[in-house]
Structure 1
């Protein structure tokens, strides 16, 4: 199967979104977009979610092995500074927690996790495994990342801790770029969102907040907008429903200040690669 670079991109991701330095958004079909050279990238990361490790009647072990292999291949090719696993790491049964931890340790780059509604475990036990609370921050280069929690230990949807979130947003308001990871979207624009209008209000007032990333809705792999803030979804790693493909989202922060993000269909990439581009 002989394909040129543009055709290859069209096969592997559906569209590219560029967030400009002034928070303007432009969308491009994959066939009309060429990625910048690697030397223009300041920070590159992946977002994947909803592995549901241990879900009955699914091939969760094999599917995780495939996803980890794809992400490691990304690391070797264009580079990945870190990966975020954005919730629902395991499926209800806490005995799968050490197993998914061992599996994710196969990633050949730093990784972070967020808590999802199917990660049914007390926060203290979660911290013993991941060394973080459900709400935390981290920094990569000159970007700051907030990780918010949107479910309790029984799987009930909840809005993130508003006071903590506001405190952290104020603390990091002078950072050049700020991003949020939270499993469940704070709107009812999907089948399984939970409206959190107070949270959305403080998001809208945060000038350096560039993007919010969600999992949870396995059938969503697009971007939604509210008051100039952009909410991205990334399909699913495993589970028994969702988009026809399993994928992950790539985010590239350029030295120019622009941000490029696109959703990957790695199974197609593997198929193309095996046919000798």
Structure 2
């Protein structure tokens, strides 16, 4: 199904990327993007990050309710198998942890989380709340997912556990495709990255690794490439800085083995649907 420019705007797209089964990447502008048919999609998930629940001077309750409503609408429209919240669920205050969980529990699909530098609670408290450690992995059919931690409970940036990561990469090596989630990028190509060369080398040699997803850098909603591996950002769900919109990313795994991902500006989507393009 071809999407003309107005329809593309109605969907709120910021950018779209297709990673082929052979791992070649193509980027598309709005007028050139062809949306896969729903029947072609094997797995579809949403990614949001950096809600910063409890940050003073921000409408964090309202922003979370909006984001949950937008993603729930995705589920009702094209379907969402699960949502991933990629770090900085809180803004430093541990007392906000049960309150932000109440917000994300309003999602009508399963969801997973990663630990960010502003999620300043220890790992045991984190596990009691989310039922996961800071590092964990899961699978969905022929797709593997590895979740890495990139900060300690004081907010200090750290490289993920290299030994554990190596074991998980080997464990999921048989999967058709593999995705990694980690809050902070392991490069210095943004203002707030932390170079982790050992981790990057492991990613580079993992043949089935299709994409690594990051939060943290609120002003990034794009893709970066290193050694034929692709590192995606998804703007921000809350907080007081970053891109001029608050957005989320959609990832679609197609039956052909290709990966389609696009960044959504949900305010634009809502505005166009109300016949007011902003």
What TM-score, normalized to structure 2?
Answer: 0.96
Which residue matches 2:182? 182
Q: What's the offset of the Cα at 1:269?
A: 0.7
Which residue matches 1:129? 129
* Superposed CA offset, 1:74-110 (max 9, x none): 0000110000000000100000000000110000110
Q: What's the offset of the Cα at 1:34?
A: 2.0
Q: What's the offset of the Cα at 1:125?
A: 0.6
Partner Cα separation in structure 2 for residue 8 and residue 111 of structure 1? 29
What SS does the corresponding residue of 2:237 show, helix, strand or coil?
A: coil
* Superposed CA offset, 1:195-222 (max 9, x none): 0000000000000000000000000000
Q: What's the offset of the Cα at 1:276?
A: 9.3
Which residue matches 2:37? 37
What SS does the corresponding residue of 1:42 show, helix, strand or coil?
A: strand
5+ residue gaps, structure 2, are none
What SS does the corresponding residue of 2:246 show, helix, strand or coil?
A: coil
Q: What's the offset of the Cα at 1:5?
A: 4.8
List 4+ stretches of structure 1 deviating above 2 A.
274-277
What SS does the corresponding residue of 2:113 show, helix, strand or coil?
A: strand
Which residue matches 2:151? 151
Correspondence 1:29-178 to 2 at 5 A: 29-178=29-178
Which residue matches 2:274? 274
RMSD over aligned CA atoms reads: 1.3
5+ residue gaps, structure 1, are none
What SS does the corresponding residue of 1:44 show, helix, strand or coil?
A: strand
What TM-score, normalized to structure 1?
Answer: 0.97
Does structure 2 retain, via aligned residues, the 8 Å contact 1:10–1:31?
A: no
Partner Cα separation in structure 2 for residue 273 and residue 5 of structure 1? 15
Partner Cα separation in structure 1 for residue 157 and residue 42 of structure 2? 35
* Superposed CA offset, 1:132-180 (max 9, x none): 0000001112100000000000000000000000000011111110000
How many residues align? The count is: 274
Does structure 1 retain, via aligned residues, the 8 Å contact 2:4–2:31?
A: no
* Superposed CA offset, 1:49-96 (max 9, x none): 000000000000000010100000000001100000000001000000
Correspondence 1:226-237 to 2 at 5 A: 226-237=226-237
